[in-house]
Copies of this chain bind each other. A is one copy, B any other.
Amino acid sequence: MRLLVAECTVTYRGRLSAHLPRATRLIMFKSDGSVLIHSDGGSYKPLNWMSPPCVVRENTETAEFVVTNKSGETLSIEVHQVHSDNSHELGVDPGLIKDGVEAHLQILLAENLSPLGQGYTLVRREYPTAIGPVDILCKSAQGETVAVEIKRRGEIDGVEQLTRYLELLNRDPLIAPVRGVFAAQEIKPQARTLALDRGISCITLDYEALKGTDDSSLRLF
């Protein structure tokens, strides 16, 4: 990894055009060819960048870098003044371990359907359909089939997604009628309104409470 702190001017041409006027920035060259240009603020997103796979060509005469990828996108970096230029050998990273994403909510809810109500039984998780898998398919105490869509944050998109599944499932006379449940840690008002308008019920999930009922906790770290 090469870290170049320099006054520079940058232009990207590709899916759109973007230009950075002359200023001092950090230019990060990663060993896979990717390049990131960071200012001293903002969030993790660089001002400008090129994702791998790509090739860096350095012109030492003109102090210009041109980074290109296969689709013909280019990132041109004109270096006016170098403040610092250091390279480091970092090696391959062992990578990130995560816990608490949607997949975990799905596993925990499938193991314990009680947030849905009494007497629910699991048909299967990731129930396959022609337009993608339904997160959880189960049956209520009364024997109704119930499709559950799980989100960390419940927004309109998720309701639309569940609606498409329900439409398809209800065309199958073997399992119709199917009722929909929208389950999320947090449900936005507009999503709740749309769901209820379509006869889909909403429940909010408590990840910590779900994890408390799980006998296989403390697995990751």
Contact = CB atoms under 8 A, between A and B. Distances in A.
Nearest to A88: B5
A94 B21 contact: yes
Interface in A37-65: 38-49, 51-52
In this complex, the interface size class of chain A, counting residues with CB under 8 Å from chain B, is 35 or more
Given A26-B3, A160-B160, A18 B98 contact: yes
A30 interface: yes
Nearest to A83: B88
Contacts of A42: 30, 32, 34, 52
Contacts of A24: 88-91
Specify how many copies of this chain sit in the oligomer: 2
A129 B221 CA distance: 49
Contacts of A40: 1, 30-32, 88, 90-93
A80 interface: no
B96 A19 contact: yes
A110 to B, nearest CB: 19
Given A88-B83, A90-B39, A1 B30 contact: no
B17 A100 contact: yes
Given A17-B220, A20-B93, A31-B40, 12 more contacts: A1-B5, A3-B3, A16-B101, A18-B96, A20-B94, A20-B95, A21-B97, A24-B89, A32-B41, A41-B93, A43-B52, A157-B157
